[in-house]
Amino acid sequence: MPFNIGLGSSRILGLDIGSSLIKAVELKELKTGYELQFFDTYPLPHDVIVDGAIMDSIRLSETLKEFINKKKIKTKDIAIALAGHSSVMVKRIAIPEMTEEELSESIRFEAEQYIPFPIDEVNIDFQILGPRPEAGQMDVAIVAAKKDVVNEYVTVLKETGLNPVVVDVAAFALSNMYELNYEIEPNRVVALFNIGASTMNMCVVVGGLPVLARDSSVGTNMITEALQREFHLSYEDAELLKKGVSLQTVSVEDAEPVIMSGAEEILIEVARSIDYYRTQGGEEVHEIILSGGASLIKNFNQALSERIGIEVRTAEPFRNIKIPKKFDPLLIDEIGPVAAVAVGLAIRRPGDR
Ligand SMILES: Nc1ncnc2c1ncn2[C@@H]1O[C@H](COP(=O)(O)OP(=O)(O)OP(=O)(O)O)[C@@H](O)[C@H]1O
Ligand SMILES: [Mg+2]
């Protein structure tokens, strides 16, 4: 459900600008399916992005330029995603049945009463989800993105010499990634979670279609902070420990219980998100597919599965994508799960709905 903001070529770079790591994916469309053209990541300094909004546009632009130069990225047309509960909001509403055209006319009016932000300050988009059991009614997902947040991203990308053509929502990019890589079963309820350093995106898909999206400001930084507090470490050392690298003063074994207690709040927030889906009339969730940095933490998936009582699988964003030999299979295996949103963005084209 991207906001289309320009016309571009068919080559698009999916750029997922996370608060700790930038992920870039480019895919080539084949007759059947896709082939990987480019995948890489680049670290972003602390505090450049906070709750999905740009706090330091100069540093962001500089970092993007470094990334582009070092990795010789040529593609200029960019698809990005918004995330974070104060930047973008997705809500499912029931309205009388009408065509897409009719709804385009009336969406601002329909949306106004559901949006917690002043209507003049947001871009609105929507997606018709399907008919409701009640005759003459249909479900629609409305998306409201803060104009100033969108403008900020567009401005920074343009200043970097890039051409933003699609602005999507992270949760919907996840459902795109799912559709591309997994066999769709009609009534299967799957909760897609992308848990990064500071934000968690959830998208519930039923039969492959998104029915609910929710973002929370909870992420693996909480684990880094717990390690820092417990062992009096710098941020950098705590990050290494979290990634399974023993330090001179602290071993990975010693860190494990602290990592797991730091993960507690993340587990609670996942449970809360699933509960939210249930209170919205959702059915039983059959499976969780987990992406983002959290999915790389040892034993995290298992802890999550035990806590929630739902099977948890690590996302495989490149599962159905042909990988040419020049790519290091280890890179795809080891950090592939952080690319979920970027893959979903890479298959967006201007004009999609
Ligand atoms: N091997 C690993 N083991 C554990 N954690 C890892 C590993 N590799 C990366 N991480 C952590 O994953 C996080 C980055 O994940 P991700 O790219 O999903 O976050 P992000 O998109 O930058 O953040 P957000 O979207 O929340 O702003 C970092 O906190 C990093 O420390
Ligand atoms: Mg992220």
Say if CB 154 and CB 143 are below 8 A apart: no
- Pseudo-torsion of CA 188, 191, 192, 197, nearest 10°? -170
Ligand 1 atom with the shortest distance to the CA of 242: 4
DSSP 175: H
The per-residue pLDDT for 130 is 82
The whole-number pLDDT of residue 1 equals 54
Structure tokens at 24: 């870039």
Rounded to the nearest angstrom, the distance between the alpha carbon of 41 and the centre of ligand 2 is 12
What is the position in ligand 1's atom list of the atom closest to the CA of 221?
29
- Asked whether 199 lines ligand 1 (CB < 6 A), one says yes
The two tokens of residue 236 are: 């950098």
291 Cβ inside 6 Å of ligand 1: no
CATH number corresponding to 3-220+263-346 = 3.30.420.40
Asked if residue 210 lies in contact with residue 171, where contact means CB atoms within 8 angstroms, the answer is yes
Q: How far is the CA of 21 from the centre of ligand 1 (A)?
A: 7
- Phi-psi region at 292: left, alpha or beta (left = phi > 0; alpha = psi -120 to 50): left
Per DSSP, 285 falls in state -
The confidence score (pLDDT) of residue 2 equals 60
CA 293 and chain centroid, separation: 11
pLDDT of residue 7: 53
Residues 6+ apart with CB under 8 A from 281: none
Q: Is the CB of 336 under 6 A from ligand 1?
A: no
Which pLDDT value is given to residue 241? 97
Question: How far apart are the C-alpha atoms of 78 and 8, rounded to whole Å?
Answer: 9
From atom 21 of ligand 1, which residue's Cα is the shortest distance away?
18
Pocket probe for ligand 1: among 265, 296, 301, the residue whose CB has the most ligand atoms within 8 Å is 296
> Rounded to whole angstroms, how far apart are CA atoms 17 and 102?
34
Counting as low any pLDDT under 70, the low residues of the chain are 1-9, 353
- Strand, coil or helix: 154: helix
Residue 45 near ligand 1, beta carbon < 6 Å: no
62, 149, 159, 270 from 59: Cα distances, Å? 5, 16, 12, 32
Ligand approaching nearest to the C-alpha of 293: 1
Those residues with Cβ within 8 angstroms of residue 183's Cβ, 6 or more apart along the chain or in another chain: none
Query: Which token pair is 341?
Result: 């949103």
Helix, strand, or coil (residue 229): helix
Cα 102 to chain center, whole Å? 30
Look at strands 287-291 and 311-314 and give their pairing: parallel
- At residue 122, the pLDDT reads 94
d(CA 261, CA 326): 40
Interior CA angle at 36 toward 32 and 42, to 5°? 155
Q: What was the pLDDT predicted at 127?
A: 85
Ligand 1 pocket test, candidate residues 80, 223, 242, most atoms within 8 A of CB:
242
Q: Ligand 1 atom 12: the closest Cα is on which residue?
A: 293
pLDDT digits (tens, 9 = 90+) for 265-281: 999 999 999 999 999 88
* Domain range list for the chain: 3-220+263-346, 223-261
Interaxial angle between packed helices 147-159 and 57-70, expressed in degrees from 0 to 180 and rounded to the nearest 10: 40
With a 6 Å cutoff on the Cβ, whether 21 touches ligand 1 is yes
Residue with tokens 């933490």: 297
Q: Identify the pLDDT of residue 349.
A: 84
pLDDT of residue 52: 86
